[in-house]
Structure 1
Amino acid sequence: MKKILTLLFAVVFSTTLLKAQSNNSQLSNGNTNPFLFSVNTLTGNTPKWNLNYTGSYGQHTSGQFGYDGLDQRFAAKGYLGNKFTIYANAAIGFANNGGTRSSQQAEIIKDFIGGKKVFGPRLGFGVGVNRDWDGVGAVFSRITGSVDALKWRLGGNLLFEKAFSGSRDKIDFTTSVGFHHQLAGSFFAGVEAVGQDLEGFWEEDEAEGGAKLLIGPSLNYAPSNAKVGFSVCGGPVFYATKSSVLPSNAIRDLSTQNGYTVRAMLTYNFNN
């Protein structure tokens, strides 16, 4: 009788352990790039490197070109060890009214809270450089935050950018947040919200035209132990405030007029 009970206990324990490992792996894969409008950090428990392709389409989403049309972006993200994450991307935009332009960006982020395990809170700080659609360079800093659990995840960014152009704001401030909950198996769904040029709430002469907001549904699919993951998000983009200053074509994920955008990302994970 004792042998039978011991065997049953061993079977139940092993099944529970395997299920937990599967769920942990599933979350690890999904956590490489779960959100479309926020950059998250990697950990030692996630695939160390991943490549992703992002395609988006928008109407009135970045003025005269770029995101006001078709945007295609290729990016790489890697875990360097010691809680450091590196992220870089290059994009090309095909405007609705014709013409093409490009942009590039690179940054490095370090987690100062958490960062060793997938589950639990993480808080990081990073710095980077970019060149926008108009060829204007900028430096920026990013604060990343996330909390991951077995069936849900929460993440977001605070971005502070200084462009090397007299026609731009002294400092641009952008914030983003996303929430996902497990629907079934490898499917997570939720919502993402982004606020751009939020200094427009207190600066009437905000140089980019005013504060803009996006909020929309978000979906992430990352099968357990799979090398490929998929995310999609989209929604209306609108001005929360207006200024009398005409907006520029700085790197933006949002619109310079009320409009909409839809974005999808395909991720390929290495070291899986």
Structure 2
Amino acid sequence: MQKLYFTFILLVAIVNLAVAQQVAGNDVNGTLSQPQPFLFTMSTLNPQGRNWSLNYSGGYGQRTVTAIGFDGVDQNFSAKGYLGNKFTLMAMLGTGFANNGGVRTMQQAEVLRDFIGGKQPMGFRAGASLGFRREFNSDAVAFSRVTAAYEVTNWKLGANLRFEKAFDSHRDGLDLITSVGVHRHISGQFFGGFEAVGQDLEGFWEADEAEGGARLLIGPSLNYAPVNSRLAFSLCGGPIIYATRSAATQGQFAYRELPTTNGFTLKFNVGFRFL
């Protein structure tokens, strides 16, 4: 898997060097119109790119659980577009092929709105969302997130603070998931940086955290959009650290058996923007 990952990076770098001689003015139009530069950190649409897009994403994970990854191979189709009046809609359908056997599905819909900024292509914007998800394990989850994004020619920054309520008596009353993504312009339309995700962070101070303890993910993140193309590509992955383990994963009557060792996940996204 590591060889595949680094091969992808090398291929993107080679293609990027081939188009680096394109007109520099295209850089701003391309880099500011990406509908989904990050894999784990969502935001409302940049005013430069409020056209609709279709996305195909997939990934592979070992010793991981939702929402950081899927333990097996998953593939997802999603649509993202501007509804007007600063509203953005994102809908997703997913299929997962679990490492322990079986096929599972996931559905999600979310509406986001900018409340600060969002009128200019560059600069800061902040918003919030409401959504609903049926997870791969069939749990129903309502969620809301606070989003922030800052984009200029050479930088893309995003952050999420997501609150989730699962309708299952064995789950936490309220889950808190945080994420942050940072991209720096490298060359042409090629950006690179990192993404970090924290899940169930209350496990650091709650010994009986209901879903097993705190989990952390941090890894490299890449985004590439060929000049004069409607396509865009993103890649992110890294180790998943099980930082704490609560009583919910110990003993005979444990509700959820988390992996005994750290895991990893690798995810990619291919987006197609309509006119």
2:266 to 258, 262, 265: 262
230-239 or 255-264: bigger deviation: 255-264
Q: Structure 1 CA distance, aligned partners of 2:149 and 2:159? A: 6
Q: Structure 2 CA distance, aligned partners of 1:88 and 1:256? A: 34
Whether 1:204 aligns to 2:214 is: no
Say if 1:33 and 1:84 are closer, same or farther in 2 by CA, change over 3 A: same
Q: Structure 2 CA distance, aligned partners of 1:256 and 1:128? A: 32
Whether 1:146 aligns to 2:149 is: yes
Residue pair 2:32, 2:151 contacting (<8 A) in 1 also: no
- The higher radius of gyration belongs to 1
Residue pair 1:53, 1:266 contacting (<8 A) in 2 also: yes
- Counterpart AA for 2:160: N
> Matched residue pairs, number?
246
Give the CA deviation at 1:73: 0.8
Q: Structure 1 CA distance, aligned partners of 2:145 and 2:176? A: 10
Q: Structure 2 CA distance, aligned partners of 1:139 and 1:69? A: 24
Residue pair 1:154, 1:180 contacting (<8 A) in 2 also: yes
Equivalent runs, 1:1-272 vs 2, <5 Å: 19-20=24-25, 22-29=26-33, 31-62=34-65, 67-246=70-249, 258-271=262-275
Residue pair 1:154, 1:179 contacting (<8 A) in 2 also: yes
Q: Structure 2 CA distance, aligned partners of 1:170 and 1:202? A: 16
Residue pair 1:25, 1:224 contacting (<8 A) in 2 also: no
Give the CA deviation at 1:79: 0.8
TM-score (norm 1): 0.86
- Counterpart AA for 2:163: F
TM-score (norm 2): 0.85
Give the CA deviation at 1:248: 6.5
Runs of 4 or more off by more than 2 Å in structure 1? 246-249, 254-257
Residue pair 1:238, 1:255 contacting (<8 A) in 2 also: no
Q: Structure 2 CA distance, aligned partners of 1:135 and 1:98? A: 16
How big is each residue's C-alpha offset from its partner over 1:75-114, in whole Å with a ceiling of 9 and x where there is no partner? Answer: 1101112111111111111011211111111110100111
Give the CA deviation at 1:170: 0.2
Q: Structure 2: which 5+ runs fail to align?
A: 1-22
How big is each residue's C-alpha offset from its partner over 1:202-253, in whole Å with a ceiling of 9 and x where there is no partner? Answer: 221111100100000011001233110000011000111110103868xxxx
Residue pair 1:92, 1:102 contacting (<8 A) in 2 also: yes
**In structure 2, what is the equivalent of residue 7 of structure 1?**
none
Q: Structure 1 CA distance, aligned partners of 2:259 and 2:128? A: 27
Q: Structure 2 CA distance, aligned partners of 1:67 and 1:198? A: 19
